[in-house]
Structure 1
Amino acid sequence: MIKYIKSRISIKIFLLTMIILMAVSGISYGFVAAFMPQSYSDSLNRTLAAKAKDLAESLSGYSLENAASIIGEFSDANQSRVVLLNEKGEIVREWLGNGSLVSEVTISSSVSEEEQPVTEGFAEESTTAESGDWEGQTDQEVSYGDTIGTVVEGEGSVVEEMEQQAMGHYEVAFKDSENRYTLFVFGSTQLVNQAVEALGQILPWMLFTVFGISLVISLFYSRYLSKPIRKLGAASDKMAGLDFSVRTEMKRTDELGTLSRSLDTMAQNLDQALKSLRSANAKLKDEMEQERELERRRMEFFAAASHELKTPVTILKGQIEGMEQNVGVYKDRDKYLARAREVTVTLQNMVQEILMISKMESWGFSLKKKELDLAELVRRQLADLTELFEQKNMKLEITLPDQCLCRVDPALMETVLRNVLVNAVRYSPEKERIRVNLYKEIQEISCEGCLRGSGNPVDAKEKTQGHKTVRLEVENTGVHIEDAELSRVFDAFYRVDSSRNRKSGGSGLGLYIVRQILEQHGAGYELRNTDNGVLFRMKLPLENMTFTG
């Protein structure tokens, strides 16, 4: 239980608030009980003193007999004991403040009666009062009777004791007497005792009320303080779990509101930092994957290149050794020197292609783009390959615009066109057709096949809308490629010719180089079968295009 209380701030706030409220209420009640009687008594005495002073001043206009009734009314109204003494210190009359007259001495004008000792009559009245009128009075009232009894013992002691106990004493005179009298007024404790008794009676109810109010206030106060703290704690727990999307969103203007806003700002900043870090990590991971993939492809490429270079090098080595030893057919050195030269040219071309591929696959490679008329570049390539077309009696069908300006790397784009056109001629039978089309494309289109861009296959039907592109198509008739081979024709050292004859099939790097160059330009490409042959299609995005014709 104690462990549970220590772990919950709401319970600790509740108990602490409850204890404080109960303690404050108890201390307040204690102060009231301790100081209220005296304070209340002082207040009553001040009021009584003012009234007594007014009474003493007003008695000079009355006779002694008439003044007695007025003094009695004053005593009853204020529940105060009043004693009237003559000049000799003898008690003339005494009022207890409850309608009772304790003693009375009749004053006559005869000298003999005045000289008669008053104490005898007072003693008789005192005895009567003790046996009758005092019955049922409080302890304080009985003590007053005891004081009256001291008159017999001596005048001085009575007067001195009255002066000590009385609230005040006043000199009074009556109109029917030349004598001076002293009026002693005693403060009443009955009202004070009643107030103290009332405090004792309401104590249980006050304790119950204070407990109930303290309970309600403590519950509200603990909830009011602990709720935002719990909310901040829950947000902190989520942030500790790297969930920075949480927001406290408190509308308070105090320190907790400031802490809430600071926590929200920190969560937002950490969320952005974490997202940025995750994005950077994802990017780094992608780059590492690309690097690993590039390294894998590079290793595969160089492994294949080593294998491809091994064959012509072996052939060249054998021819040279045969000619050196002058054995067999190699005695005809002129013939095999020419063949060795052909092999050397093949090796040179392969090495150049390998170096080009290695350069493009390096991290520091960048395109050297310039504004180029692509239509004019196609015309020049077709003109350079005219002899090759004539050797196979092939017919050209060309559709080109007058001008198509775009930003590309001229040398690399020339390599793309040459490799594509050479492959079209090389893999076509004699007397077939080669169709070359170059046109712009802006509206939405759809095409079927295996369109590839940036090295990734695209869906069979791809739609491109809204951006300007130029499309180049080269179709050679009379041939067909198996579907299983279409997805591999752009791989390094892959040749459709199963015999892998270099005279008819080349090195197998032509379309691989095309792929690398087009991916560097962000262009899409595909090779697919048509009803009449095989179609190569390239889609080049144009940064700045001027297209006429």
Structure 2
Amino acid sequence: MGLSKKTFLYSIVLATIMTAFIVGYFVLMLPSLYVDYVMKHNLESVKEIQEGYRKERSYDNLTVRNPSAAFSLEIPDEGSEIYVAGKFFQMTVKVQDEELQAMLDTFRNMLENMKYMEMADTGKSDVSEEVSQEDFLRLWKQISGKFSENNMISENAPIAVQLDRRGNQGIYREEYSKIHMLSEDSFVYEGGVSDGNYSYTTYVAMCYDKNGLFMTVLPTMTPQMGEIRPVVMESLPMIAAVMFLLVLLSSRFFSGKIVNPIIQLAGYAESARTSDGLEREEIAFESEDEIGALGNALQELYRELSGKYQELAEKNKALAEENERQEVFLRATSHQLKTPVAAALLLVEGMMNEVGKYKNVKEYLPEVKKQLLSMRKIVEDILYLNYHAENMQKETLPIEDLVQEALRDYQVQIEDKGLRVTLKGSGNVWADREMMKKIVDNLLSNAVQYTPKGESIEIEAGDEALRIRNAGVTIDKKLMPGIFEPFVSSDESRKGKGLGLYVASYYSRLSGGRLEVENMENSVQTTLSFAKAEQRDGF
């Protein structure tokens, strides 16, 4: 998924979380908070009304939430009068029945005893008399029994009521009115009034049918924005904190999904920059967005660069070895050429001046030719060595045919020394024909030359190696470490001309193989290992 899609998805998820939180808050938490707020407000309202009426003995200056329903009752400590007051009325109730008056006094005594009991609980007085709930219930039944419909309208009523109606005193002012038609015979009147602090709505439903007129009145308090606003304002810090936390956590999670791969990618690039040979531990980029694609592309680039670097390092190493070889070889060659050149010049100069024994030209001219042929052999080996190093043409060659062809060139020396030569096995090698012939020729030349008379030479050919073992001779251990160096020979008479093993070893390396020489029990074994099948592309 691309970064643009990830960002869009992140925005959708974050918006969904925020919406779910807000909806959940308004559906689950706000109603309970509002109910709790209204209940606390009602409790504070009744406390204010109670305290205000106790001080003023009037509702004139009190703010009442529902003035048509709220009222206060006052029972003095003595006397037969009880006072009831509200926003629209003030009423005095006088007890006229003696029994009812006695009950009233008893009720007052109970209240007084209850007050002393409360004082006793705080340690202020000691009261022995207790007032039980059953006493209150019994007294209430006696008082309520005094009142009946007939008693209330007779001249000897237990109480006398004096009512002072105050009217609305301009408390209410009309705000609006409208009619909702339900049908042709039914409608609802809706009227709204306000007392300056609260609003009230009265619904009057009326319908008429064959049985008569029906009317229903329902007064209610009008909901106000001010009632819910304090609840919302009190919740704002919590809402802001939760939303901030949600945004912070969501952003942290999303930024981690984007920034962490970038940090990982930067660390990977830095490790690749500082590592030797661009060698580094590869990192698996699991994301499929642009960052993951960049990481995989960069990793592939470093992989290719590493391969090129290793290849270049190997080529540089090979070039360094080749430069060193050529430098050493040329120095050694130039030094070794001085000997036959000096000998040839000495012989020619002696014959030209007819000095001593050199007057016999027929005897010493072959020696001059021998020195010249030695120089030519060295020069040809050098030229041939460099030519084939740059012009290899590989093909599949039967190794036994190359051995037999080389043996024919040394047949005279073999017969002259009475050597027993055996060839067994067969195999193929992927190599340059002339280069492989030169390798086999040099190896057989050394074997024929250094094998004593009457001894044997065993040759074993195969697909993996060519082994030549010549009996009756071993190589001096002092010569073994530098056996493949140029101009190293165990034959003191040929000192300075030992290029055979050097050329064979060099051609073997170019062909991808390996040449080894080791002393066996009274014999020397030379092993030419061929390149393996999986290496033949570079063979």
TM-score, L = length of structure 2:
0.55
5 Å-filtered alignment, 1:191-340, equals 192=198, 205-241=231-267, 242=269, 249=286, 261-340=289-368
Distance across 2 between alignment mates of 1:169 and 1:408: 114
Deviations 1:121-142 (A, max 9, x none): xxxxxxxxxx9644xx9xxx54
Q: Distance in 2 between matches of 1:543 and 1:232?
A: 48
Code of the residue aligned with 2:338 in structure 1: it is K
2:474 counterpart of 1:480: yes
The question of whether the paired residues in 1 share the 8 Å contact of 2:410 and 2:448 is answered with no
- Match of 1:476, as an amino acid? N
Give 1:378's aligned amino acid: V
Offset, 1:342: 0.4
> What is the identity percentage for the equivalent residue pairs of Structure 1 and Structure 2?
22
Q: C-alpha distance in 2, partners of 1:249/1:542? A: 39
For residue 508 of structure 2, what is the aligned residue in structure 1? 518
Q: Which of these residues, 400, 424, 427, is aligned with residue 400 of structure 1?
A: 424
Structure 1 residue 248: Cα displacement: 6.8
Give 3-state SS (helix, strand or coil) of 1:187's partner: strand
Structure 2 counterpart of 1:399, one-letter code: L
Q: Which residue of 1 aligns with 2:440?
A: 417
Task: Kindly indicate whether residue 531 of structure 2 is the aligned counterpart of residue 537 of structure 1.
Answer: no
SS in 2 for 1:383: helix
Match of 1:154 in 2: none
What is the CA-CA distance between 1:536 and the residue it aligns to? 1.2
Decide whether aligned partners of structure 1 residues 281 and 437 sit closer, same or farther in structure 2, where only a CA change above 3 A counts: closer
What residue is the counterpart of 1:367 in the other structure? 392
Query: CA shift at 1:323, angstroms?
Result: 2.0
Q: 1:132 to 1:310 in 2, by over 3 A?
A: farther
From 412, 415, 426, the counterpart of 1:387: 412
What is residue 189 of structure 1 aligned with on the other side? Answer: 195
Distance in 1, Cα, partners of 2:367 & 2:241: 110
Residue pair 2:519, 2:525 contacting (<8 A) in 1 also:
yes
Residue 374 of structure 1: how far off its partner (Å): 2.8
Residue 393 of structure 1 aligns to which amino acid in structure 2?
Answer: G
Superposed displacement of residue 352, structure 1: 0.6
Aligned AA for 1:212? Answer: M
Alpha carbons of 1:203 and 1:391: their partners in 2 closer, same or farther (altered >3 Å)?
A: same
Counterpart of 2:83 in structure 1 is none
Equivalent pair of 1:488/1:494 in contact (CA under 8 Å): yes
Would the alpha carbon gap of residues 516 and 187 (structure 1) be closer, same or farther in structure 2, given more than 3 Å must change? same
* Aligned equivalent of 2:205: none
Tell me the secondary structure at the aligned position of residue 530 of structure 2.
strand
CA contact (8 A) 2:192 2:199 kept: no
Structure-2 separation of matches of 1:424 and 1:305: 24
Give the Cα–Cα distance (whole angstroms) in 2 for the partners of residues 133 and 486 of structure 1.
Answer: 139
1:435·1:475 contact (CA, 8 Å) conserved in 2? yes
CA gap of 1:261–1:540, structure 2 versus 1, over 3 A, is: same
Amino acid in the other structure paired with 1:360: H
Q: Which runs of 5+ in 2 are unaligned?
A: 1-13, 31-65, 71-85, 91-162, 179-190, 201-220, 273-281, 535-539
| Residue 167 of structure 1: how far off its partner (Å) | 5.4
CA distance in 2, matches of 1:372, 1:246: 46
Q: Which amino acid in structure 2 is aligned with residue 525 of structure 1?
A: L
| Partner SS state of residue 492, structure 1 | coil
Aligned to 1:489: 483
1:182-231 superposed Cα distances (whole Å, 9 cap, x missing partner): xxx88233673598998767766543422112211210122102322134
Deviation of the 1:413 alpha carbon: 2.3
**Residue identity in the other structure for 1:210:** L
Closer, same or farther in 2 for the Cα pair 1:199/1:371, shift >3 Å? closer
- Equivalences for residues 77-92 of structure 1 within 5 A: none
**Deviations, residues 421-460 of structure 1 (Å, cap 9, x unaligned):** 221122233332222233x3xxxxxxxxxxxxxxxxxxxx
Q: Secondary structure at the match of 2:479?
A: helix
Q: What RMSD in Å do the two structures reach over aligned CA positions?
A: 4.1
Partners of 2:224 and 2:286 lie apart in 1 by: 53
> What is the aligned length?
346
Q: Any conservation in 2 of the 1:420–1:511 contact (CA below 8 Å)? A: yes
Identify which of structures 1 and 2 has the higher relative contact order when contacts are C-alpha pairs closer than 8 Å and 6+ apart.
1
Distance 1:216 1:236 in 2: 30
User: 1:63-118 deviations in whole A, cap 9, x for unaligned?
Assistant: xxxxxxxxxxxx99899xxxxxxxxxxxxxxxxx96659xxxxxxxxxxxxxxxxx
1:417 maps to amino acid: V
Contact residue 167 and residue 187 of structure 1 kept, 8 A: yes
Shift of 1:344: 0.6
Instruction: Work out whether residues 67 and 88 of structure 2, in 8 Å CA contact, stay in contact via their aligned partners in 1.
Output: yes
Letter in 2 for 1:226: R
Question: Closer, same or farther in 2 for the Cα pair 1:338/1:169, shift >3 Å?
Answer: closer
> Which residue is equivalent to 2:517?
527
- 2: distance between equivalents of 1:405 and 1:269? 43
Shift in CA distance, 334/523, structure 1 to aligned 2, threshold 3 Å: same
Corresponding letter in the other structure for 2:337: L
Which residue identity is paired with 1:228? F
TM superposition shift of 1:338? 1.1
* Distance in 2 (alpha carbons) for counterparts of 1:390 and 1:224: 95
Instruction: Call closer, same or farther: CA 1:196–1:210 in 2, change over 3 Å.
Output: farther
The letter for the 2-side match of 1:400 is K
Following the alignment from structure 1 to structure 2, what is the Cα–Cα distance between the partners of residues 528 and 169?
Answer: 124
Specify the alignment match of 2:449 in structure 1.
Answer: 426
The residue number in structure 2 matching 1:46 is: none
**What is the deviation of 1:261?**
0.8
Give the AA of the match of 2:417.
K
Letter in 1 for 2:524: V
Contact map agreement 1:394 1:431 (CA 8 A) in 2: yes
Distance in structure 1 (CA, Å) of the matches to 2:174 and 2:512: 118
**TM-score scaled to structure 1, two decimals?**
0.55
From the superposition, tell whether residues 99 and 298 of structure 1 become closer, same or farther in structure 2 (CA, over 3 Å). same
Distance (whole Å) between structure 1 residues aligned to residue 360 and residue 338 of structure 2: 25
Tell me the residue number matched to 2:103: none
**Distance in 1, Cα, partners of 2:285 & 2:527:** 57
Match of 1:437 in 2: 460
